[in-house]
Amino acid sequence: MQNIIDELSRCGFYGDEEGKIFLVGKPTRWSSFDVCKKIRTILREKKVGHCGTLDPHAEGLLIVFTAKKTKFVEKFSALEKEYIGEMILGARTQSFDLEKEIQPQSSAENISGAKIVETFSLFLGTQQQVPPMFSAAKVDGKRLYQYAREGMNIERKPRTIVVSKFEATDIDIPSVKFQIVCSKGTYIRTLVDDVGLRLGCGAYMKSLKRTRIGNLRLENALSLEQISQHFSRNQSFGPFKIAA
């Protein structure tokens, strides 16, 4: 697996006769499924999967696998993940991000930077987290967001997550920019909502970008346009080169 990681770090792509692996820079407004569907169309490949779902409002690094390389999904899913994002204090949404209507709460004007930093520190370490209703997690074979859109609130089992870093990088009330390093299965927007509840003013996630999965970084990722450009001319699995 190390040779695959080395090649992905070098050029954002690994391929052989068993399939392909891509580091993809997912744009906002695209679901992770949309990205897989696009690559399925570009490559005319039926079997395409990804690890580490990103919400449509989030952007950043997504790893996509094709054909027999989908056997690596679980191994890559287990890798540590890093994000940068921005939360807005003083309001909440049902989805904890911009998918749902913003609902004003209490003013955050009197909350100090020191209090915000202290609150962030409360969420470090191993903990239990309940998946949000507006998420792709399944209960009885049905996505939670499908229940939520029907106005239902389903009981969800908490999951064990690990947050190894959670730091405020810029505080300009009501905006708080942050960096977080965490385990798989962590819902960042749930943490943001929890921070808002702890502070007593509410909070929602304005933006999120995944910058790293394990040692694989967003700066080495390919755009969907680059992938399309290359494979429209070259269906080989040799070294990835962007077509001129």
- Beta strands 13-16 and 19-26 are antiparallel
User: How far is 168 from 219, CA to CA, in rounded Å?
Assistant: 22
Please tell me whether residue 21 adopts helix, strand or coil conformation.
strand
User: What DSSP assignment string belongs to 86-148?
Assistant: EEEETEE-TTSSTTS--EE-S--TT--HHHHHHHHHTT-EEEEEPPPSSSS-EETTEEHHHHH
Please tell me whether residue 193 adopts helix, strand or coil conformation.
helix
Catalytic positions are 55
In contact, 210 and 184? CB cutoff 8 Å: no
Closest CA to 154 of 164, 163, 142: 142
